[in-house]
Amino acid sequence: MNITFRIERKLLDRARADLRRRHRFAHERVGFFLAKPAELPSGGITLSVTDYHPVDDDHYVRDDTVGAMMGSAAISKALEVAYRSQASMFHVHLHEHEGMPAFSRTDNRENAKFVPDFFKVVPNLPHGAVVWSIDRACGNCWLPSTRQPTAISDFVEVGAPLRWWPWRS
């Protein structure tokens, strides 16, 4: 299945600025993108990002084994936003390098723990996680039908100039 993740450059820039802020003990920041999915006649899905929600400073948990660890309050708040908006939710963080980023084993393990929780509040929409580098992104989308991670096929940054790249470029 073709899954396209679409975001306006201004919104991505705002999220990146937030994700680059220093935290008093976490080594990186994380947040959530709210998205509205649209099924395509071809059977694919376009996920159009509509908003960014940062994780509050006091919702991080000290854990020196990872760059950032969200506490239960961060997940609860994201679940509430997804429920109120009846929208898809995608966890996001940055890898500050050029080229294709990748999820770490820890990212994959933790994503598999909390992303399915979003089906408890919005069961009929996809949810997932993305990681952005300076110039690329990769991500996984859990579809309602399978509730298993599927690679996001394409990323589109809408702005001038328009940027598009396939996930495995």
Instruction: Say whether pLDDT at 166 is over 80.
Output: no
The residues, ordered by sequence, that sit 6+ positions from 92 with a Cβ below 8 Å of its Cβ are 15, 19, 30, 31, 32, 33, 52, 129, 130, 131, 132
pTM (two decimals): 0.93
- DSSP secondary structure code for residue 134 in this structure: S
Mean pLDDT for all residues in the chain: 93
Percent of the chain whose predicted confidence (pLDDT) is above 90: 82
Pinpoint the alpha helices (H) of 20-163. 72-85, 105-114
For residue 15, report the phi and psi dihedrals to the nearest 5 degrees: -65, -45
pLDDT at 167: 60
CA 57 to chain centre: 18
Q: What is the pLDDT of residues 104-113, one digit of tens each?
A: 999 999 999 9
Pinpoint the alpha helices (H) of 34-165. 72-85, 105-114
Rounded to an integer, the average pLDDT of 157-165 is 77
Least confident of 47-56, 99-108, 153-162: 153-162
pLDDT at 165: 66
CB atoms inside a 10 Å sphere around CB 8: 15
Instruction: Say whether pLDDT at 4 is over 80.
Output: yes
Q: Which domains, ranges and CATH numbers included, belong to the chain? A: 3-166 (3.40.140)
pLDDT confidence of 69, banded at 50, 70, 90?
A: confident
Say if CB 49 and CB 35 are below 8 A apart.
yes
The residue among 89, 161, 91, 169 whose CA lies nearest residue 132 is 91
pLDDT at 66: 82
Distance linking the first and last C-alpha atoms of the chain: 17
